[in-house]
Chain A
Amino acid sequence: MRYFTVRFLQMIFAIWAVATLVFLFLQLTGDPMELLAPEDMSEAQVAELRHAYGLDRPLHIRYLIYMENLLKGDLGISWTSGEPALKLLAERFPATLKLVLTALGIAIVLGLPAGVWAAMRSDTWVDRSLRFFSVLGISAPTFWIGIMLILIFSVTLGWLPSAGAESWRHYILPGLTLSFYRIALFLRMIRSTMLDVLSQDYVRTARAKGLPERIVVYKHALRNALIPFVTLVGLQFGQLMAGAVVTEWIFAWPGMNRLALNALFTEDRPVILAFVVLTAVIFAAVNFVVDLLYGWIDPRVRYA
């Protein structure tokens, strides 16, 4: 219980620190009115607008107001759209979540068995070709993969749509684009941990007992290889939720990463801040869930 209280307080501190740092960093980018106010407004009219957004107040006052609102769960009003920043993000959260889950799903379904396969056939042509593929997957830039998939499947073959998120068919190309790197990553990770685990004494014992190879691999070896894998998947989830920027951009995905990128371009600071705070919360929550999963996979963690 005490452990959870400490973890919870740490989480709150981290979110506060992130919010404060980003708030301060944004001040360094200069006067937001440079980009926010239309070119055809006079200096006096820009001053009025600055006042309307409360930007004529001193920095520490603005910071205190921001923190007070944050405590109340109010993440501010978007400067460009006049709508609550949290509402704008909430509208787009499901699209990002679904895309990330699709990508991780594809990556797990393909990467995990491929990794096991490669480990079991280590140093055969299977292993070598899978490793070749994984190098390709890790080094190919997302941008290039996305454009190639569009050119092949949308333009040339005309099978799949390239932009938007209206039907399940819209998920295929961005999902694949985003999963490419993760398939390779998962494959390499599972392969190397499996190789490591397969050389352990308890695996040798299991084999010596005469257990079928299937049981040895899936029950004795894979179960142990899964612990670091779950951590990796968790981290990838958090990273994708706030890092699917390029993919959302290319496929015109109505997700929150694209919203945040646009906010950066237009100096819409309330939206940038809300995005950062929200992703900090997601990261913290995912870490929490991963900790719980450990206990489920590895009983030793439960009693420790």
Chain B
Amino acid sequence: MRRWLAALLLISTLGFAEKTFVVAYQGGAVTLDPHMRNETTTLAWQHHLFETPFFFNRDGKVVPVLAEKIELVDENTWKLHLKKGIKFHDGSEMTAEDVAFSILRAATHKKSQMKGYVGKISETQVLDRYTVLIKTKVPDPLLPAHLDHAAIIPKAYLEKVGEEGFNKHPIGTGPYKFVSWLNGDHLNLEAFDGYWGKKPAFTKVKLVNIPNGATRVAALLSGEVQIAEKVLPQDFPRVERSGVARVEQTPGVRVIYVALDYWREYGSEGLPKGAKNPFLDPKARKAIYMAIDEDAIVKRIMGGAATVAPQFLAPIHEGYNPKIKRFPYDPKAARKILEDLGYGDTDGDGWLELPTKDGNRVPFALRVDAPNDRYLNDAQIAQALANMLRKIGIKASVNAVPKKVFFPNMTKGHFTMYMAGWGSMDSINTLLSMFHSKDPSGLYGRFNREHYKNPEVDRLIEEAAKTFDKAKREELLKKAMYIAMVEDVAYIPLHYENVIAGVRKGIRFTPRPDEYLHAFEAEKE
């Protein structure tokens, strides 16, 4: 009886032979309207259907996709030349009408989430069948790169079926066309015969959302899926030992960093009541930096699934400065720096001390804030940081909370030291948001929660943001980064999270640094 049952199950397994190429994600796309949700998995799924004028390649370079080239007419005007003969999935040709319409929609639709990229665009004009004029409100030297978030959709089709109809059956120019989907769960695709570019290796593709890491790995090992993203470090040995799959890693652009209160002399919320905040002085910040054994974090906590970061930007970013190296790990020197600054242990209890406003001294206690559900092993990293700080005499404790609580609290300034991550392909955006001093209009320093401020750095960033010459811009960014990272120790970089995928035997695939997982980048071996 039992044998029969087993045989029956086995036969039905065979009947289910692998024809469809299945890729498992940790999440799923929540919309197939390419301008409404700016989130990695949603965009990654959409990239199979839609393309943009320009896109980043794996080396972080901006390359033309639907565009032939782009010309700068004046500071606020660009002329976009399109490739000819590109077809939408319904067979109609993509023209300047579609492109002018789509870019403006991404820039101005009231629910568009792409405004962080193309929100500076005020107007688009059709010059001829293959040329579009783009006008911006303010100069944007990075406009070509920003067009990577302006997916091109067929104007006539959208106007015919409406937004609801478009969501039901989206049409783009991408290598795959839409077959069916369940919002947030799976998307069935079929290779588009009329695709202008390189034909993808697999005809039928299914993208699925398998949220639980252990299930994702199980599905990979049992052959239900061919690629599974975000395999957890603890599962690496199981995958490698299985003989049917392997782990592929690429250093990503997401940096995990530590921020320290840069603005309150007293009343910093992660220190004992009334204690002076030592971190207004870059020397004290450097001491914390030197107390952190990042090699150990990468090796022991991240299981090798991360790459030590010497600075805030990643090597493929514009403005990455190879001259910036990590300060050496040296706990003795770190403690010495703090002692020399007057925070030494005077009562002999082993803990460093902080002066208070009323002239007393209290033990140097420090709360390390971190999320516990946002980054790979985030709570464990925070714990390791606290342990390392305790070794140099700082009475550190950890407050790891869900991201929903963490981020609003950090934004409100309820911290002295926190750990978080930052990932963006756009260096100018990174520097404007994280390194430029806060301004009341909210235009600059939006995520500069620690209130880092250096007028020279502000000037360099602003200058870079309006410099059209790439080489000059890069120099300005490098200079700003040097001052911020080395002289001011604005943040303490920890590591870049690696982008990880489990891949079945017989398939050639490596993840992209920008975390977008595309089935059309997989090949048969």
Contacts and interface: CB of A to CB of B under 8 A. Distances in A.
B33 A154 contact: no
Interface in A23-74: 29-31, 34-35, 37-45, 48-49, 51-53
Contacts of A251: 215
Contact of B111 (A43, A52, A162): A52
Contacts of B222: 154-155, 158, 161-162
A270 to B, nearest CB: 13
A81 interface: yes
A30 B411 CA distance: 12
A53 B9 CA distance: 50
Contacts of B111: 49, 52-53, 82
A176 interface: no
B9 A29 contact: no
A50 to B, nearest CB: 11
A37 B113 CA distance: 7
A179 B182 CA distance: 26
- What is the size category of the interface that chain B forms with chain A? 35 or more
A159 B6 contact: yes
Given A49-B111, A83-B31, A163-B210, A40 B433 contact: yes
A82 B211 contact: no
Interface string A231-245: 000000000000000
Given A34-B411, A38-B39, A250 B441 contact: no
A41 B13 contact: no
Contacts of B442: 42-44
Contact of A48 (B110, B221, B403, B407): B110
Interface in A1-34: 29-31, 34
Nearest to A254: B185
B165 interface: no
A39 B116 CA distance: 8
A254 B31 contact: no
A158 B411 CA distance: 48
A82 B182 contact: no
B426 interface: yes
A247 to B, nearest CB: 10
Contact of A167 (B16, B110, B424): B16
Given A82-B31, A252-B210, A154 B219 contact: yes
Nearest to B429: A40
Contacts of B446: 42-43
A161 B184 contact: no
Nearest to A38: B38
Given A31-B408, A147-B214, A161-B224, 7 more contacts: A38-B116, A39-B447, A81-B36, A150-B215, A159-B10, A161-B219, A163-B218
Interface of B: 6, 9-10, 12-13, 16, 24, 27, 30-31, 33, 36-39, 110-111, 113, 115-117, 119, 163, 167, 182-186, 208-212, 214-216, 218-219, 221-225, 403-404, 407-408, 411, 424, 426, 429, 433, 441-443, 446-447
Interface of A: 29-31, 34-35, 37-45, 48-49, 51-53, 78, 80-83, 88, 91-92, 147, 150-151, 154-155, 158-164, 167, 169, 249-252, 254, 258-259, 262, 265-267
